[in-house]
Chains A and B, each alone.
Chain A
Amino acid sequence: MRGRLTRWFPVLTLLAVSGALAQVDSIEGFEDPELNARYRDLIHTIRCMQCQNQSIAESPSVIAAGLRREVRSMMAEGRTNGEIRDYLASRYGDFINFLPPWRPSTWLLWIAPALLMLGGGLVFARVLRARMRQPMEDLE
Chain B
Amino acid sequence: MSSNRANAWRFAIPAIVLGVLAAFFLRGLMLDPAYYESPLVCQAAPEFSLPDLADASRRVGTADFAGRTVLLNVWNSWCAPCREEHPFLLELAASGVPIYGINWDDERDKALAWLHTAGNPFVASAVDEVGEVAVAYGVYGYPETFLIDGDGTILVKHFGPLTPEDWSGKMLPAMEAECAVD
Q: How far is the CB of A66 from chain B (nearest CB, A)?
A: 3
Of the stretches A16-24, A84-92, A131-139, the one at the interface is A84-92
Known: A50-B141, A62-B105, A63-B140. A92 touches B38 (CB 8 A): yes
Of the stretches B14-22, B89-97, B128-136, the one at the interface is B128-136
Interface string of A61-74 (1 = CB under 8 A from B): 01101110110010
Known: A49-B140, A66-B135, A70-B135. A90 touches B130 (CB 8 A): no
Residues of B close to A90: CB separation below 8 A: 39-40
* A93 close to chain B: CB less than 8 A: yes
* A95 close to chain B: CB less than 8 A: yes
Per the bound structure, the CA–CA distance linking A133 and B104 in Å amounts to 72
Per the bound structure, the CA–CA distance linking A62 and B139 in Å amounts to 11
> By the criterion CB–CB under 8 Å, are A95 and B36 in contact?
yes
> By the criterion CB–CB under 8 Å, are A93 and B132 in contact?
no
B37, B105, B135, B141: which contacts A91 (Cβ < 8 A)? B135
Per the bound structure, the CA–CA distance linking A70 and B139 in Å amounts to 13
> By the criterion CB–CB under 8 Å, are B130 and A93 in contact?
no
> By the criterion CB–CB under 8 Å, are A69 and B141 in contact?
no
Residue of A nearest to B135 (CB): A70
> By the criterion CB–CB under 8 Å, are B138 and A69 in contact?
no
Per the bound structure, the CA–CA distance linking A88 and B139 in Å amounts to 11
Known: A49-B140, A50-B141. A66 touches B39 (CB 8 A): no
Known: A66-B131, A69-B130. A93 touches B37 (CB 8 A): yes
Interface string of B18-54 (1 = CB under 8 A from A): 0000000000000000001111100000000000000
Per the bound structure, the CA–CA distance linking A69 and B132 in Å amounts to 8
Q: How far is the CB of A86 from chain B (nearest CB, A)?
A: 11
Q: How far is the CB of B132 from chain A (nearest CB, A)?
A: 7
* B114 close to chain A: CB less than 8 A: no
Known: A65-B131, A69-B132. A93 touches B141 (CB 8 A): no
Q: How far is the CB of A28 from chain B (nearest CB, A)?
A: 12
A63, A70, A88, A93: which contacts B36 (Cβ < 8 A)? A93
Contacts A66-B135, A70-B132 aside, 6 further interface pairs with beta carbons under 8 A come to A49-B141, A63-B131, A66-B131, A66-B134, A91-B137, A93-B37
| 15 contacts across the A-B interface (CB closer than 8 A) | A50-B140, A62-B105, A63-B135, A69-B130, A69-B131, A70-B131, A88-B135, A90-B40, A91-B40, A91-B135, A91-B137, A92-B38, A92-B39, A92-B138, A93-B36
